[in-house]
Every structure is written in C-alpha cells, then in structure tokens.
Amino acid sequence: MNAYILNKLPVIEKALDDSFTSDIPETERIVQSMKYSLMAGGKRIRPVLCLAACEMFSDQQDPSPAIHAAVSLEMIHTMSLIHDDLPAMDNDDLRRGKPTNHVVYGDDIAILAGDALLSQSFQNVAQNTVGVDPARVLDVVIRLGKCVGPVGLAGGQVMDLICEGKGDDVSLQDLQWIHTHKTATLLMASVACGAILGGATPEEVEACEQFALKIGLAFQVADDILDCTASTEELGKTAGKDENVDKTTYPKLLGMDGARAEAEQLVAEAKQAMEPFGERATALLALADFIIDRKN
C-alpha cells in the first residue's frame, strides 16, 4: 500500500500545486495562506481513494478523469482542518507538524483561506474535468456540496461541539452520527466521485459508498486510539487533546480493546462491500487496512 500511495503522490502533489496561482498582488496574502495548508503534506488519503476508485471502473486504468475531483476533495479537507483548528473550534496550534494556519496568518485570514479553498474546489472540478459526460461531472459537484453541508462536515462538527463535555450523556449512536457526517461523508464522496468519473453504474457507486462509510468510521476509531497512544511528534498535532476537552471517543465508550475490535469489524464490513469487484478492488482493500494500521 505504501508503494501504491507513493506512486500516486507525485501526480497528486503536482495537481495540487498547479490548482491555483495568482499574479494579482492584492490576493498574494490569501493565496499564501491557502497554499500553506494545502501543500503542508499529509497522507492524501481522499485523493488516493478517488483515483483508486476511478481506476477500478476505467477500462484504460487511467485516473486522469478524476484528478481534478481528487484535488477538490483535498481542498475541502484542508478547509475543514483550517477551520477545525481555529480558537472558536478545537483551538489547536499544531497541524501536520507545523503551526496551524491561524497561528501564522491570523484568525481572519485563516477563515477566509478556508472559505476560498471551498469555493475553489467547486470551480476546479467543474471547470477542469474534461472528456467525461457532463451529467457525471454535475453529480460529482452535487456530492461535493452535500458532503460539506448540514448533513456533512458542518453538521457533524456542530454535533461534535454540542456533545463536548457531556460525558456519559453521549451514546455510541451519537458518536457514530458525528463521525458518519464529520469524517466518513467526505471519504464516501471521495470513493463515489472516483467511481462516477470512472464510469460506474449507480449500483456500483452505492456499493463503493458502503465501503467508504465503513472505512470512514474505522478511520475515526483509529484516530481516537492514536490520540490516546501516540505522541505529539508522532501525530504531527497535539496528542491527548480529546481527553483534555472531555470529548467522547470510541476508547472512552468501548475501552481500548473494544475500540480496536470495532475498527477491525468495520474494516471487515468494508471489505465485504467490495467482494463483487474481485481483484479490481485490490487497491481500495489495501487502503482499508492502511487506515487502521497507520501510526499518525
């Protein structure tokens, strides 16, 4: 899996770097802020999922129809990180081993940089995706919009904030709702958009979404475990933050062994959803294992 990701990263990084430039002096500050977070590294799981799903359905095994959707997904993810780190949200000063965006550029510029990345994500995929049925491109744009809204990232974050500090009043069902919308929805969009642009049928897209829902929840369980077990240096962000602000997490509700078992069960269910695709799903199946085996 590491070899697969390393093979995709140069293509993804170049596409991200090329995704916006400006020769207008008045925009220099905000463009710097946007690129500071967008090009800060990371695993690029969402773009990789998008390209892998496209390859699964493309006869040419060519991910290029999905490269702009992959970039747009990373823009949306980066926006969410910039906004999550703000003092009004998680109030964190470290992300991917670097000072967070608002620490470097100020709260005001960070908010606007996140807004601009979100806007740019829609423009990027709509303007630059060529050689694909326009109806499929429109479907992708709609899914990108949905995954950010009240039944996506924003709704999940609101519920997360509401539940903060409520301790035993937060149920496992509440936690699953939060992370289905805050984390899994964008991963679902990543796989679905890649599949759509690769030529998948609606039934095949639905199977891909079920796969991504399960790995999205597994991703969050793994994140909760790492927050308890890894150091700040290993994570590239502040360790132990969830406990410090009394957030409900999977280890808190299920215990550490129970959380690990939950992650393994979710990955098993994700793999089951991919069974109809046989060997074509090899990359996505390996990504599912990578998500719960990762160390940061």
Render pLDDT for 223-239 as a digit per residue (tens, 0 to 9): 889 888 867 766 666 66
Distance CA 84, CA 223 (A): 15
Residue 112 banded pLDDT, cuts 50, 70, 90: very high
Render pLDDT for 75-105 as a digit per residue (tens, 0 to 9): 999 999 999 999 999 899 999 889 999 999 9
Number of structural domains found in the chain:
1
153 has a pLDDT exceeding 90: yes
Residue 178 banded pLDDT, cuts 50, 70, 90: very high
Question: Interhelix angle for 2-17 vs 282-293, to 10°?
Answer: 90
Q: Which residues are bridge partners to 203 per DSSP? A: none
Dihedral over alpha carbons 164, 169, 175, 181 (to 10 degrees): -60
- Amino acid found at 230: A
Q: Which residues are bridge partners to 95 per DSSP? A: 98
- Amino acid found at 167: G
Enclosing domain of residue 136: 2-293
Instruction: Say what the pTM is.
Output: 0.92
Encoded tokens for 169: 């009043």
Q: Are 269 and 207 in contact (CB under 8 A)?
A: no
Question: Collapsing DSSP states into helix, strand and coil, what is residue 241?
Answer: helix
Element (H, E) at 27: none
Distance CA 220, CA 112 (A): 27
Sequence length of the chain is 296
CATH code: domain of residue 196: 1.10.600.10
Question: Collapsing DSSP states into helix, strand and coil, what is residue 98?
Answer: strand
What is the percent of the chain with per-residue pLDDT over 90, rounded to a whole number?
A: 71
Render pLDDT for 245-267 as a digit per residue (tens, 0 to 9): 677 889 989 999 999 999 999 99
